[in-house]
Each structure stands twice: as structure tokens, then as C-alpha cells.
A and B are shown apart, each in its own frame.
Chain A
Amino acid sequence: MSIAEPRKAAVQPMWFEKIPAGWWALVLILLTMPAWANDFVLFQVMGWTFILGMIALSLMFLAGYGGMVSLIQMSVAAMAGYMVAIFGNSGMGEISMGLPWWLYLPIAVAIAALFGTLVGALAVRTEGIYTIMITLAIAAAFFYFTRQNYTIFNGYSGFNLVVPPPLFGVDWRAPMPFYYLTLGCAAICYLVVVYVSRSPFGLSLQGVRDNPRRMAALGFNVTAHRVAAYTFASVIAAIGGILLAWQNAQIAPGTAGIPAVIDILVIAVVGGITRPIGPFIGALIYVLLRTFSPDVLLAFGLSGERFKLLIGLGFLAIVFFSPDGVLGLWERWRNRRARGQDPLTGEDP
């Protein structure tokens, strides 16, 4: 009893004191980036990183907290992108309905969430590799369906001219506004996931991951919890999908093709699925490799076409040296340093 009490009696630090200095530095860098980075970095590198990070974050939530590796997240994102094009405006006037933004955005998120929930309801009854297989099968079906269906999804060519609404007189596709838009969405999604992870819902999801049978023996409806996790993750993926459609100004079957579906898994695994920051680290590495590997290859006198080789080798190296991704590397390095500095208490110097 007396041992436990100081834990509560101690003066609680203010919330901003608990955040390490490194995070403040990161916030400062991200907020001031438009002042010193060029438009290409803002729009193409950082914007894309935040978007892929969000979609991979939805997978991290399912896999890291729920123990469910879902390959449907990219399809859910693309579904949201399609719905924005169909209910909003696009170059395909005969399909797009041209609803106002405050109507088509919630509709798009809701339909994508419903789609993700239905897939989840099918997938949660399976475990491990079978979850991967069933979600991959549905993702493949979604890809072929969108490519062959012309009445709703406009088939092979999809929709072009899918752009954000000119809210407050700002062109949200211009580099700086788009940068802040994606940064804001990514930050909100990240903070919500961090917050929810310690809520009853998030904790019980981790309980379901560790021991579903025991969760049922504690009064939890395990199936309902897993399905709800899919719904929650789908909302995050949907936000990412809408931003992705806006960034490309188009949505087409290839957005959620099998390579794109696999890429999300790679991003999450490379970054690390133990904590919500992992997917964003993975997304940054992926985007940097995707963007600059042709230049690197050309510099060595190789054909720029072979950029996928470099990406593959990069990912292979990370996963080989650290099965739990970049986060795992970072944590091991920190532990080693802490051990070296203070073997008695294990505290950071």
C-alpha cells in the first residue's frame, strides 16, 4: 500500500511538461517548413507522406493494437476518394452529382467506413494469414470491380479533376495550403489514435489482441470489438483517401491496385506497428525512396527505370536488421545508450 501511494501523491506535471523536447522540435520543424522548403517538398514529399502515413496508421491501429493485419485499408481509402468524385465534382459531369462539400465529405467518409466495417465483419472471424488472405481477396475484387464498372466508377480511366472545394477563398491544392491541410489531418488522426489507445475501447482492443478467449471470459464481445476497430480505422483511411484523390486530382482503379495495397503494408511494417508514429516514419522513407531513387540510380549510371529495385533493397535491409521496423531500431539504440549511461537505475541521463 505504502509503496503504491507515492505514484498518486506525487505532483502531476502539466500536460506540456510531459512532452519530450524532441517532439517540440518536430512540431516547430513541421510548422515552419513552408518558410524554408520548396513547393515540391511541401506538396509532393511531405503531403504524400502525411497521406500515406494516415492510411498506414489505420493499418497500424488494426495490426498493432488489434492484432489484425488487414490489406483492405488502401481500398477503403480509394472508396472514399471515389465517393468524393461521385457525390462531388469531377471532370466526369455525367456521373458526378455536384453536391456541396459539407454534404459529400461526410457521405464519402460514411460510405468508406461502412465498406470497411462490412469487410471487417467478414474478416474478424478469421485469424492470422487468413485475415490477410480474405482482405487481399476483397481488395483485388474492389480493384477489378472499379476497373470494369463504368456506370458508377467510370472503369479504367476513373475520375479526373477531383479537387478540394475552394473554402475561405483558398486554393487548397496550392503547395502551402495543401501542406497545412494534410499536416493538420495527419496530426489530428495521430493524436486521436494516441488518445484512443488508452481509452476503454483501445485498451480492450489490445486485450483482444493479447488474449481473445480471456476477453470473452471478462464479459467483452470480442467480435463486436474487432468490427468496431475496423470502423474506426476505416474513418482514418477514408480521410487519407480523400486527400490522396485531391493531391492527384484524380481517382482511378490503380490507386487501390494490388501494388498500392501491398505498399501500405510495407510502409506500416518498415515504420513499425508498435506505435502510431511508426507509419509516418515508414511513409517518409517510402516517399523519399520513391521520389529520389531514379535520380540515385541515374547518378550511378544505371537506368532510372529500376527504381523499384532500390526500394525493395531498402525495405529488405530495414526488415532484415529490425523485424519491428525503424521504431524497433530506435528503441534498441536508446536502451543500449541508457544501459551504458546508468546501469543501476536504467534512467536516461
Chain B
Amino acid sequence: MSLTEQTGAAERLGSVSSGNALELRGVTKMFGALAAIRDITLTVGSGERRAVLGSNGAGKTTLFNCVTGDFLPTSGTIRLFGEDVTRFPAHERIRRGLRRTYQISLLFNGLTVADNVYLACRGVSRGRFSFLRPRENDTLLGRADELIEAVHLAPWCDTSVANLSYGQQRQLEIALALAGAPRIILFDEPAAGLSPTERAELVSILNGLPGHIGYIIIEHDMDVALRVAESVTMMHNGMIFKEGTPEEIENDQEVQELYLGDGHG
């Protein structure tokens, strides 16, 4: 993406921007009679880094799916940078600066690492339908190479995704979410299944993101979550249970009972 194109996009997005990256108001998602999430009201500021905690089935991933438009909420409104996107299809939300990663890697197994990242860069720029092959000095190819380097996958550039290790696939998952000009990223358990070394690398990648990029991260590992987030939302049974700073949540009596109490019965 050229510089002029980039500023143009930023201006277009800026015109509808308020201070908040994401505003959810009374968002409910029913699956039949079951409410996966109920009456969620949540505000995430621009550049804010938020962790979402909660046990399995608390509705964290459903919340993400509603925000990205994988499915529409049953009721409530979702605003992205001040714009009501509740009824927008997923790709329209992505083009407005939203990105996400998936809990279980969703990659293009038939393609190479380079092709995967190139597609991600192409998805949020013009020429998605171009019949012309990119030239050697194509800016997007260069951008894709940078992203691959940023997630330490350069040596596997031409490897088919199917042949990558699990940890590498998780890294690629993050590279896809960083393509283009992301403004808020939803990370769905990026550390799941990673080794301690890989976790440390993940924390360094997350902390190394430019300040204007906010994110919401679902994470079971308190240790990771509390090191990369400046605020925490605790979910339980499809509802927001508690919000606060990492210290507040860590020391909260009710949270401790909920998180630790399970094991004691």
C-alpha cells in the first residue's frame, strides 16, 4: 500500500471515528433457547489493550464471533470506531481496521506461508480481483515479507502451511491479523498449546505492537494475560462478571473464588 493510499484510508476511517475503538451495547446471541452471551455492554478505547478472562463456555469466543460478524447478534448494537456495524458482513468490518485470530488456526493449508500472508495483505487493499500477477517489486509482496519476518517465519517462506509445526501455525495466524493497517485486533487464545519459550516470544510480539493498535485477548493463562493487558474483563455464563485493572482482578475475592474455587468443589 502506498503512503498516499494509506493516509487516504486513515482519513476516511478517521471521519467516522470517535474515541472508542469498539462499543457493544446490550449484545445478546441466542442459539435456540440457549443464550451464549447475554446483554454484553463493553467499551474498548482506541489503542486499549484488554484481556477477556472466563472459564470454558463463558461466551468469550461467541463474543468475538459477533464482533467480527461471523454471525450476527440476536439483539444489541456493535459500533466500530463510532460506526454502527451490527449488520455489516465480516469483510466490511475487516476493511474498517478490525482483525482477529482464531483459537484453532484457520489457515490456507494448500498455500505457502508467503501466499497466506500476501492474501492477508491483499484482502485489506485494492485489487482483490486483479487478474494480473504481482510484479517482483510489488509493495504488498514487500509488506508480506516484513510481516513474515516480524513473526520469525522467514526461513519457512515457501513452505506449505500444512507442513508447519503447530507453534509456527500460531505465529502465522498472528501475521495474518497484522496485515494492512489494523486498529483493533481480537486474539482468541493465541498462547494455547505453545511452549514456555514460544509464550515468551508471543508476549514480546504483543508488547512490540505500535501504540495505536489496540487489542482484546482471550487468554486462559493468567500469567500471559496480565502481562499484555492494561485492563481486564471477566466473563461468566455469557455475562460480564467484573471489569478492572489486572491488579484489581487478580486480588478480587469473587474472581478468586470463581477461578480457584472450581477445583475445590
A contacts, CB < 8 Å to B: 1, 3-4, 7, 195-196, 198-201, 203-204, 206-207, 209-211, 213-222, 224-225, 228
Q: Taking the complex as formed, is B118 at the interface, i.e. its CB lies under 8 A from any CB of chain A?
A: yes
Q: Taking the complex as formed, is B211 at the interface, i.e. its CB lies under 8 A from any CB of chain A?
A: no
Q: Taking the complex as formed, is B95 at the interface, i.e. its CB lies under 8 A from any CB of chain A?
A: yes
Contact present for B179 and A218 (CB under 8 Å): yes
Say what secondary structure dominates the interface of chain B. loop
Of B107, B131, B149, the residue contacting A211 (CB under 8 A) is: B107
Contact present for A220 and B133 (CB under 8 Å): no
Contact present for B179 and A206 (CB under 8 Å): no
Contact present for B133 and A216 (CB under 8 Å): no
Contact A214:B111 (CB < 8 A) given known A3-B154, A198-B133, A219-B180: no
Binds A, one of B43-51, B120-128, B191-199: B120-128
Identify the closest chain B residue to A224 (Cβ). Answer: B129
Contact present for B111 and A200 (CB under 8 Å): no
Q: Taking the complex as formed, is B222 at the interface, i.e. its CB lies under 8 A from any CB of chain A?
A: no
User: Chain B 143-165 against A: per-residue CB contact (8 Å), 1 yes, 0 no?
Assistant: 00100010000110110000000
- Which of A214, A216, A219, A220 counts the most B-chain CB atoms under 10 A from its CB? A219
A207→B118 CA distance, assembly (Å): 11
Of A1, A3, A206, A221, the residue contacting B108 (CB under 8 A) is: A206
**12 more A-B contacts (CB under 8 A) besides A1-B149, A210-B109?**
A203-B111, A204-B119, A204-B128, A206-B108, A207-B111, A207-B119, A214-B106, A216-B91, A218-B124, A219-B95, A219-B123, A220-B128
List which B67-124 residues lie within 8 A (CB) of chain A: 68-70, 89-91, 94-95, 99-100, 102, 106-111, 115-116, 118-120, 122-124
Contact A214:B102 (CB < 8 A) given known A3-B154, A219-B91, A221-B89: yes
Question: What are 9 inter-chain pairs, A to B, with CB distance below 8 A?
Answer: A199-B133, A207-B119, A214-B106, A214-B176, A215-B119, A217-B106, A218-B123, A219-B95, A220-B128
Q: Taking the complex as formed, is B251 at the interface, i.e. its CB lies under 8 A from any CB of chain A?
A: no
Contact present for A200 and B130 (CB under 8 Å): yes
Write out the residue numbers on chain B whose beta carbons fall within 8 Å of the beta carbon of A221.
89, 91, 128
Write out the residue numbers on chain A whose beta carbons fall within 8 Å of the beta carbon of B111.
203, 206-207, 210
Q: Taking the complex as formed, is B34 at the interface, i.e. its CB lies under 8 A from any CB of chain A?
A: no
Q: Taking the complex as formed, is B134 at the interface, i.e. its CB lies under 8 A from any CB of chain A?
A: yes
A224→B90 CA distance, assembly (Å): 13
Contact present for B119 and A203 (CB under 8 Å): yes
A199→B116 CA distance, assembly (Å): 13
Q: Taking the complex as formed, is B132 at the interface, i.e. its CB lies under 8 A from any CB of chain A?
A: yes
Contact present for A215 and B110 (CB under 8 Å): no
Write out the residue numbers on chain B whose beta carbons fall within 8 Å of the beta carbon of A201.
128-131
Contact present for B100 and A217 (CB under 8 Å): yes
A97 CB → nearest B CB, Å: 32
Contact present for A215 and B158 (CB under 8 Å): no
Write out the residue numbers on chain A whose beta carbons fall within 8 Å of the beta carbon of B123.
204, 215, 218-220
Contact present for A200 and B128 (CB under 8 Å): yes
B138 CB → nearest A CB, Å: 10
- Of all A-B residue pairs in the complex, the 4 with the closest CB atoms, nearest first, are A218-B123, A219-B123, A219-B94, A216-B90
Write out the residue numbers on chain B whose beta carbons fall within 8 Å of the beta carbon of A228.
129
